[in-house]
Structure 1
Amino acid sequence: MDFRILGPLEVSDGGRAVALGGIKQRSLLAILLQNPNGIVSKDHLLAELWGDAPPATAENSIQVYVSRLRKELGPDRLTTRPPGYALRVDASELDLGKFKRLRAEGRPHEALALWRGPAYEDLAYEPCVQAERARLDELRLVTLEERIDDDLANGGHADLVGELEAVIAEHPLRERLRGQLMLALYRSARQAEALQAYRMARRELASELGLEPGGELRRLETAILQQDPALDPPAEVPTAGSLLVVPSSIERLDDLLALATSLAAPLVLACVVPANEVSAATSALAARARELPEARAAAFSSPEPGPDLARLAEREGCELILLQGAPLEGAARVVVETARCDVGVLTSAPRDGPVLVPFGAGRHDWAALELAARVARATGAPLRLIGAVTGRRGRDASRLLADASLIVQRRSGVVAEPVLARPGRRAVFEHARGAGLLVVGFPDRWREEGLGRVRDALVADPPAPTVFVRRGAAADAPAMTRFTWSLTGSAP
């Protein structure tokens, strides 16, 4: 039997929901669950259910509630024990017990997953559970802070900012949450916003409590101002994922391999061919695979190559699919739309020259920069980021590009050189003409909102070998800032 209090009060027996009756009967069960396996006196039940002035029928009502619950729970489960009653609950049957065990084992994510809402949510206005609700809400919040610490320690800073802002709105005086937000912002290359978060915390504490922030929060502000290396995100663990390399034909495989072999990952070579060519294509791919370290090969025919390639990538645990051709046509479009991993579509073989990324720090731009940094590190080519020279109120992207360069240096050891240019198509094309590879990110909502004028022009007539990158749904994709105007031609 399972007893669940972390949310609405529920009991199930072998998957069957147990009927718990009305508010008073459910409240009586809630009181017993606050003291599982212990004796709860009738006097305590009377006081908790009706306060200082119980009605004359109160004792009879308790007996009725106990009788009904006993029918549902079983006579051995709810027993009469002078001077009251006892509810037998094994440690593994109560979700609160499971929660405490998981938390003690250092598994806060799994512990928090047991919560379905505020504790005793269906009894929110009953006095008998108010103190327990407050205690459990505090326990849940502390565990959430522990889980956020875990996420920060594992490089999840960029994905935490929105969550922390929402939690702080509900709990504005918790300094630990404020510090976690400051650290998440700083590690996401948003130093100014991290300092603004400190100022907001200081104003809130002064306004509500007349207090200055505690020593830990003050020390964090100082460390941010000094750009203390101790605040840097943890070093990334190199991924063991492979790359699925899909040429448009066997003859064009070398174009893709010129890019794929620079990404330092095991390769899976695959080609979709007519049924009568599968054997020959497999032999040709296998021959090339033997020349490469850790490479495998397969050819197949398919009436739906796009979905089959997406499934193959997932089955093989691929981190990236590299295709050839136009990104919004044929099977490539289907893969771009459906694959859970990252997808790159290459227009032509890379050549000598710098690796160039039009960069506005959106989630999609970071995906492009990540791939570009890997290519630059492997080939020794310069890595350059194009940002807008002016924006609203005369701002430019130089600080943004500097922040991005620092992050790239921490992650891959590659220095990204800033290139300031006017927003729009013409500047990107001018700088790209001498590039060895142009790496362009697809915005997340490209299907609903389109690619934008600049990307449309790059798809139609790429000025250099170009790889269009789409961040996968399953990927961990930091969004460094909301400063995303470099490919649109206008400031937000």
Structure 2
Amino acid sequence: MVSVAESVRFGVLGTLRAEVEGRPAHLGGPRQRAVLAMLLIARGRNVSAERILADVWEDSRPPSMTTLHGYVADLRRALEPERASGAPARLLVREGAGYALRAAPAMVDAERFTDLAARGRRALEDGEPDHAADLLGQALALWRGPAYAEVAEAAFAVPDATRLEELRAAVREDRLAAVVAAGRHVAAVGELEALVSEQPLRERGWELLALALYRSGRQAEALAALRRVRRRLADELGVEPGPGLRDLEAAVLAQDPRLLPPPARPGSALPGPTRPGPGRSPRVAESSPPSGNLPFALSGFVGRRTDLAAVAGLLEEHRLVTLTGPGGVGKTRLALEVARARAHDDTRDGVSGSADGPWLVELGALRAPELLAATVATALGLPATSSAEQLAAVLAGRDALIVLDNCEHLLTPVATLVHTLLTRCGAVRILGTSREALGLTGEVVYEVPPLDAATDAADLFLSRAAAGVPGWTTGPDDRDTITALCAGLDGIPLAIELAAAQCRTLSVEQIAGALEDRFTLLVGGPAGRPDRHRTLLDTIAWSDDLLLPDERLLFHRLGVLGGGFDLETAAAVGGITPVLPPLSALVRKSLVTAEPGTAPRRYRMLETVRQYALAALSPQELEETRARHRAWALARAESVERHLRGPQGAVLLDGLSRDQPEFRAAFSSALAAGDGAYALRLGGALFWFWFRMGHVAEGLAWLSEAFAAAPEAGPAVRARARFAVMALLYLAGQPARSHEVARTAVEEAREAGDPVTEAGATAYGAYTGVLAGAPIDVTALTGRAVEIARHTAQTWLEAETLMVRGMALRALGDLPAADAAFQEAIAAAHASGHDWAADGAAWCDMKTASDRGDGARALAVAGDLLAAMDRYGDISFWLVTVHSTARALALTGRAEEAAVLMGAVEAIGARAGVSPALMDPLDGPREAAAVRAALTPQEYERHAARGRELSREETSRLVRALVPGRRSR
């Protein structure tokens, strides 16, 4: 008999479709198809009937429950046409108050695509480009159109559709990278040109196109492509290319031999030699003193050596350089220092190059655009003129540097004037400062960065405080406090100077403690400053006042975000469609910063700017924006959680780490609003992330608050959150409490009809019961867990429950049965891409080898495990594996190195809240004792102290040197 898994195939990479034994199945109308899509997105998990009705009918009044039952019955008949009347459904099943679709990963084209994408990427990384191109081509061939085409705009489908489309874009790039790496660069050019035309803001495609052109003997076209993307990024996003594009351009110009086949991996950064800028043309010395109107500096210029050199170099090569950045970042001061240095160099060298000037034109107070030409003329000591053409006629033939300060509020008239001057006056150079670039051809934009908190920013604070408070000195701990204070002020020089001025009345600690109310604290700038720089609030309000209505609305709403964000997040939280135009404007106007080299592009706001934006929202608008933010955060977490145990797991964990500030903000706002059920649901979705990355204390704290705030939450929500508490208590080394919580989670999961949670809680509850010495039938419980997992058709769950069964049997001393469970777990893990479960089984194999005194075998297994773990960033599993590795090293006579690792694990684990000795009470204490026994107490402490100074990265490098892995995955 053919199984359901063999006879049914689902397609979501295009219009939704299903095939039964190779023939299309009739899936009904749009609503019925949307129900099926929602169940497919759930990946085997139970979805309550209420949620299906609410999400599928989000744009209208939901129908009766009878309508949904009818849709499900129709889908069952279409998907299992041979099922006898009255026989239980095997594929679309009823569970408690909801439904689940028991579709194994191989039955869904999106899962096959994800698997092929991961395998293709590994082949590319392993230097097998032909194999990689074949696998990635197979992956792309599965697509028939946009993911979930009929329901792609529905809120329940957007996160998964977006994830798949982003992965599809990355796979296209990976396949073309493989084609180029295989030496077929000529054939790749056409496809790459089409790719960058479709996705012009993804930098990797441009890198590959330039590389393919260069290898095809088309160097000039390669450079043209690189310059084309530079202009595109500047025009549309206001950013410079990322380091990959910049380094590739330098390598092409230098004709770096590493660009030739056989190449380095496509897209990698290629360090090119620094090209000296062209020197100035020889000029006739003049005896007349330099002219100009630059004011003398009233205070010392602190730091920014790199910025001074960079801007001076740009001004040598280009006639229009604009310094951009948020208010208070130091654009004006940097421009003046560059101009002074240039005038000083001209005088010292006896050349006339910029002897006519530099001239400073201050535009901040100018409100009448028609007076712009006259203002510039007056500043240059010329008769007032009424037009740009008249001014250009006067300046023709003069070799002058003009500094136009604060152009942002007169952007169009300033751009018109500058264009006229540069096209009519060939020796005039313009150095502008503006919170937004002028947007002219030939303009080079330099974004002035904040100061580094630990160096230049702290030095600036000390300098200004000492100048303002005679006899002021720092205390023994002030430097660290000042560094933290400057970091809290985003390294913005204006904010730092305003804070330093408060040293007249407050201590450094008091100033640092008052940053939550920074706009009240940072006032009273020195007399003589423009009004917009007298307080921190005025500085940002100046930029806010220049925004258009949609830009201002989005700017204020983005204040609820706790960290960096992407375009999808901005759209969801901002509630503005389309979101790209106002977001691009905020980037151009230096209120939002785009992070170069990120794909998809990510953005961030300085903390000071974010607090201003947040404070600008009315109470009602603030709550509405936070509600949108919570909806986005939950959709993001639940969408990602379904794929964390598959081939994409490592990449998705990195993404969750990046978005962690948003989840924290969502928890805080939900609990403040009394929505404990939301917090439980979010915690249930994030627990695997917390578990893997070692966020034990944080996860337990949020879940504790959530349970207290949601006494009436439904069993399905409680069960998943309870399972999360159980798992985190296990990591925290509390097996007895973990076991008790697991028993409750099993009961709640049964009540909710949630077999996935029931299987996991049953398995882990049995293992923690063994650790706690509870009187339970371990064999029966773990066997039941595996059986439930198999009925869910979730292969990753089967792998994990088998792994836990093996761990429990090993703890009982039944090594043959444990080994059999581990082998089954490894097979299931490899089938589903759940490498963590396979690694868990291998870790137990490693410990068993050490029990038998076979340290060499234990180290061989450890090398493979740790090499894999370094790629996906797991902290808890990494710690216990390094701990076990230390014992194996001691067994092979390398006790000193073992003690170093023990010290590192102790220190890193303390910071992460994970203790291998507590988490692994059967083996952890024995491992620690074995290392201590191999050395005297003094020797052990000496070497362990060295380890306590190591970071995780340093420890990983040491482990790789001691225990080289044999394979990579």
TM-score, structure 1 as length reference: 0.46
Higher strand share: 1
Q: Which has the larger radius of gyration?
A: 2
Higher helix share: 2
TM-score, structure 2 as length reference: 0.24
